[in-house]
Structure 1
Amino acid sequence: MAAPGVGTVGELEVLEFLEIFVGGGQGLLVDARLPAAYAAATLPGAVNLPAQTLRADNPYRDDLLTALGVRNGDHAGAFDLVFFGTGADDQDAPNALRRLLETGYPATKLKYYRGGLDSWRALGLTVAGKS
């Protein structure tokens, strides 16, 4: 289940997001899985931001938020983000989304691709990585 207030998207919306937001420098497609899984296979255009790195006890979390467009706690310039994991049962993306919401990240700037890599592959769509 996605975090409260965060909308879900399907494959067509992910493709549109890549074209408009990622292509325009206003958003990121985020793979919330661990780096080894990301390196093996991911959606084209995705960046890796493991859910664990967004934990409150990570001393570098503020640096990550800055990279996402948050300036001194101000989320006005925050990127639009679409998160995904392995598939519908994977909790990495929902955990990452919850942790971002806890920082004050606006739910309106967050989306969840629930199908994840499994659904993407099942549809025969291209993946990036070693697989």
Structure 2
Amino acid sequence: MENQLRDDSGLLIDARLPSWHQKGTIPGSINIPFTVFEKSDLDPELISTFKRLGVTERQSKPGLVEKLLAAGEVNETWDFSNAKELILWCNGPWCGQSPRAIRGLLDHGYPPEKINYYRDGMQMWQILGLLTVQ
């Protein structure tokens, strides 16, 4: 993922609430709380966040050719053709914040092959003595 972070085709997402993020985070992470991905398609915060992730709102319904090329279901609200690869993480294996964010992303149609999960989260990061930033 290091290359994707460097060339801006990927993001490392701290899916915890801001109060957790302010206590310390993994370097290179951006804070997008899991609650954002649970919002409706019409919510301005979700729309803004999706733009940051390379997702755009469709201006028209997908055509037959696009549906055939997709070899699967095509989302009628969002265009994920330029969506970034994501790594989501939270406090650790016991924490449900990033799994909820991932469920929200999938519910909105985000491509599962572009979603990664760092299950160990902040807990193992700190146990391993790795750098954190505030």
Question: How far apart, CA to CA, are the structure 2 residues paired with 1:66 and 1:89?
Answer: 30
What is the 5 A alignment of 1:91-102?
91-102=96-107
Equivalent residue number for residue 126 of structure 1 = 131
Match of 1:56 among 29, 36, 39: 39
Equivalent residue number for residue 52 of structure 2 = 67
Unaligned runs of 5+ in 2: 58-77
Question: How far apart, CA to CA, are the structure 1 residues paired with 2:43 and 2:79?
Answer: 19
Question: How far apart, CA to CA, are the structure 2 residues paired with 1:59 and 1:102?
Answer: 15
Structure whose CA Rg is larger = 2
Tell me by how many angstroms 1:67 deviates: 1.5
Deviations 1:44-71 (A, max 9, x none): 0000000011113472212211211111
Match of 2:20 among 12, 19, 37: 37
Q: Report the TM-score when normalising by structure 2.
A: 0.80
Q: How many residues align?
A: 112
Question: How far apart, CA to CA, are the structure 1 residues paired with 2:103 and 2:38?
Answer: 10
Unaligned runs of 5+ in 1: 1-16
Question: How far apart, CA to CA, are the structure 1 residues paired with 2:83 and 2:97?
Answer: 21
Question: How far apart, CA to CA, are the structure 2 residues paired with 1:39 and 1:20?
Answer: 26
- Root-mean-square deviation (CA, aligned residues, Å) is 1.1
Report % sequence identity: 34
Question: How far apart, CA to CA, are the structure 2 residues paired with 1:78 and 1:62?
Answer: 13
Higher relative contact order (CA 8 A, sep 6+): 1
Tell me by how many angstroms 1:86 deviates: 0.4
Question: How far apart, CA to CA, are the structure 2 residues paired with 1:56 and 1:125?
Answer: 33
Q: Which stretches of structure 1, 4 residues or longer, exceed 6 Å deviation after superposition?
A: none
Q: Report the TM-score when normalising by structure 1.
A: 0.82
